[in-house]
Amino acid sequence: MHPEQGPQQQHHSLDCFCPDGYIRDSADSANSTEMCIDIDECESGTECDHKCENFYGGFRCECHEGFKLHNVHECLPSEEETTEKVNGSSLGPPSPTAAGSHPAAVPSYIKTGSVLGIAMFLVMCVMLLLFLLHKAFKRCGKFTFSTIKNQNIDIFYLQQVTAETYKKLSFDKQFPSDS
């Protein structure tokens, strides 16, 4: 992640700012290139009582079974666990409690890029659908209902056909040698 360059100038150089959860680091000392690097808050081991999960721009504390997260960093025994142990019954292991203390700050250009990408995808889908519909109508021609346009249609009378007029040989009579 590259640091955002601020408008303030001191001694003809631009000051760079990193979002919360990142630290400015000189990536290339020869070119004086600076980059923002994620701070690993879990590395010190002092941020959370039990489990610490680091992610870009922040971290999340989690507690072991039987504990609840309190004040974002501290794990305290849950009241349900203590009453169950006193009564001598156990209903099953409770799920660990997790909460994020510092949500990752997403830069505005990522939000804009995501919206722009989704909008472009939808526009392309609509254009593809219109193109396919155009091709289908061009190929099939126009749909016309002749019954609606031509009201002077002759009515044809159909004749009933019976089975006695057209007798077929049964399967047994065709092949007498099969029996």
pLDDT tens figures, 97-134: 455 545 556 666 667 788 889 999 999 999 999 999 99
**Residue 29 belongs to what domain range?**
4-38
User: Within the chain, what is the greatest distance between any pair of CA atoms?
Assistant: 114
Question: Can you spell out the DSSP letters for 131-159?
Answer: HHHHHHHHHH-----HHHH---PPPPPP-
pLDDT digits (tens, 9 = 90+) for 15-67: 677 888 788 877 666 667 778 888 888 887 777 888 888 888 788 888 888 88
Residue 178 resides in a domain: no
Do 57 and 29 lie in one domain? The reply is: no
Residues 101 and 58 sit within 8 Å (Cβ to Cβ): yes
Do 96 and 62 lie in one domain? The reply is: yes
Residue 139 resides in a domain: no
Question: Can you tell me the distance from the alpha carbon of 101 to that of 76, in angstroms, rounded to the nearest whole number?
Answer: 16
* Strand, coil or helix: 22: strand
- Give the chain's domain count: 2
The residue ranking higher by pLDDT, 82 or 153, is 153
> Has this prediction a pTM greater than 0.75?
no
Question: Can you tell me the distance from the alpha carbon of 150 to that of 1, in angstroms, rounded to the nearest whole number?
Answer: 72
Neighbours of 4 (CB within 10 A): 15
